[in-house]
Amino acid sequence: MIKGHGDDRYQFNLPVKADFSSNVWYAGLQKGLEDELRNKINEVIHYPDPGAWKLQAKLEQYLSLSADTVMVTNGGTEAIYLIAQAFTGATVTIVEPTFAEYEDACKLYKHQVQFLSWEKLNSETSFSTDMVFICNPNNPTGQAIDEHILEQLITQNKHTVFVLDEAYIQFTHDTASMIPFLKRLPNLLVLRSLTKSCCIPGLRLGYIAGRKQLLDRVRVYKMPWSVNAMAITAGEYILDHPTEFEVKRDTLLEETYQLWEGIRKMPEFKVMPTHTHYFLFETLTGTAAALKMWLLEQHGLLIRDASNFYGLGPGHCRVACQQADDNKLLITALRKWTLS
Amino acid sequence: MIKGHGDDRYQFNLPVKADFSSNVWYAGLQKGLEDELRNKINEVIHYPDPGAWKLQAKLEQYLSLSADTVMVTNGGTEAIYLIAQAFTGATVTIVEPTFAEYEDACKLYKHQVQFLSWEKLNSETSFSTDMVFICNPNNPTGQAIDEHILEQLITQNKHTVFVLDEAYIQFTHDTASMIPFLKRLPNLLVLRSLTKSCCIPGLRLGYIAGRKQLLDRVRVYKMPWSVNAMAITAGEYILDHPTEFEVKRDTLLEETYQLWEGIRKMPEFKVMPTHTHYFLFETLTGTAAALKMWLLEQHGLLIRDASNFYGLGPGHCRVACQQADDNKLLITALRKWTLS
Q: How far is B269 from chain A (nearest CA, A)?
A: 28
Looking at residue B71, the DSSP 8-state letter turns out to be E
pLDDT in 10s for each residue of chain A, 340 residues: 556 777 788 788 889 999 999 888 888 899 999 999 999 999 999 999 999 999 999 999 999 999 999 999 999 999 999 999 999 999 999 999 999 999 999 999 999 999 999 999 999 999 999 999 999 999 999 999 999 999 999 999 999 999 999 999 999 999 999 999 999 999 999 999 999 889 999 999 999 999 999 999 999 999 999 999 999 999 999 999 999 999 999 999 999 999 999 999 999 999 999 999 999 999 999 999 999 999 999 999 999 999 999 999 999 999 999 999 999 999 999 999 999 8
Helices assigned H by DSSP within A96-211: 100-108, 147-156
Residue type, A50: P
Cβ pair A47:B101 closer than 8 A: no
Residues 204-233 of B with CB under 8 A from A: 204, 219-226, 228-231
CB contact under 8 Å between A224 and B47, yes or no, is no
Cα end-to-end span (Å), chain A? 35
Contact of A86 with chain B, judged by CB distance below 8 Å, is answered with: no
pLDDT of residue B2: 56
User: Closest residue of B to A82, CA-based?
Assistant: B223
Which pLDDT does position B23 carry in this prediction? Answer: 87
Q: Which residue of B has its CA nearest to A109?
A: B221
pLDDT reported for residue A155: 98
Query: What is the mean predicted confidence (pLDDT) over B186-210?
Result: 96
Residue A187: its pLDDT value, please?
98
Residue type, position A74, single letter? N
- With CB atoms and an 8 Å threshold, state whether B44 touches A38: no
The answer to whether the Cβ–Cβ distance between A105 and B223 falls below 8 Å is: yes
Mean pLDDT of chain B: 95
The Cα angle at residue A103 between residues A97 and A106, in degrees rounded to 5: 150
Tell me which fold the domain B31-244 belongs to. Answer: Aspartate Aminotransferase; domain 2 (3.40.640)
| Chain A CA closest to residue B76 | A225
pLDDT band for position B12 (cuts 50, 70, 90): confident
Burial of A135 (0-12, 13-18, 19+ CB in 10 A): buried
Confidence grade of residue B24 (pLDDT, cut at 50, 70, 90): confident
Which residues make Cβ contacts (< 8 Å) with residue A60, sequence separation at least 6?
Answer: A66, A67, A68, A69, A70
The Cα of A152 is separated from the nearest Cα of chain B by a number of Å equal to: 33
- What b/e readout covers B4-34, taking b as 16+ CB neighbours within 10 angstroms? ebbbbbeeeeeeeebbbbbbbbbeebbeebb
pLDDT for res A3 = 63
Mutate to test the interface with B, among A3, A23, A41 (most CBs of B within 10 A): A41
A325 contacts: CB under 8 Å, gap ≥ 6: none
Q: Which A residues in the span 261-280 are in contact with B, Cβ-Cβ below 8 Å?
A: none
Q: Is residue B73 within 8 angstroms of chain A, CB to CB?
A: no
What is the ipTM metric for this complex?
0.95
**Statement: residue B1 has pLDDT above 60:** no
Residues whose CB falls within 8 Å of the CB of residue B11, separated by 6 or more in sequence, listed in order = none
CB < 8 Å to A77, chain B:
223-226
Q: Which of A25, A203, A225 is best to mutate for the B interface (most B CBs within 10 A)?
A: A225
Q: Nearest-CA distance from A257 to chain B in Å? A: 24
CB contact under 8 A, A1 and B224: yes
Q: Which of A68, A70, A67, A71 is nearest to A222 (CA)?
A: A71
Contact B78 A223 (CB under 8 A): yes
pLDDT at A340: 81
- In this structure, are residues B30 and B211 in contact, taking their beta carbons and an 8 Å threshold? no
What are the pLDDT digits (tens) for B208-241? 999 999 999 999 999 999 999 999 999 999 999 9
Q: Is B28's CB within 8 Å of A22's CB?
A: no
By Cβ distance, the residue of B22, B44, B50 closest to A47 is B22
| Distance in angstroms (rounded) separating the CA atoms of residues A273 and A281 | 9
Q: What is the pLDDT of residue B202?
A: 97
| pLDDT tens, residue by residue, B239-284 | 999 999 999 999 999 999 999 999 999 999 999 999 999 999 999 9
pLDDT, tens only, B133-146: 999 999 999 999 99
Q: Are strands A161-165 and A131-135 parallel, antiparallel or unpaired?
A: parallel
Residue A108 CB coordination number (10 Å): 17
Beta-sheet pairing, B161-165 with B301-302: unpaired
| CA atoms of A74 and B154, how far apart (whole Å) | 35
Question: What is the reported pLDDT for A226?
Answer: 97
| B9-27+248-339 fold | Aspartate Aminotransferase, domain 1 (3.90.1150)
pLDDT of residue B7: 79
CA distance B147 to chain A (A): 29
For chain B, the domains span: 9-27+248-339, 31-244
Q: How far is A84 from chain B (nearest CA, A)?
A: 12
- Residue B317 touches partner A, C-beta closer than 8 Å: no
Residue B167 has pLDDT above 90, yes or no: yes
Are the Cβ atoms of B50 and A24 closer than 8 angstroms?
no
pLDDT at position A2 is 56
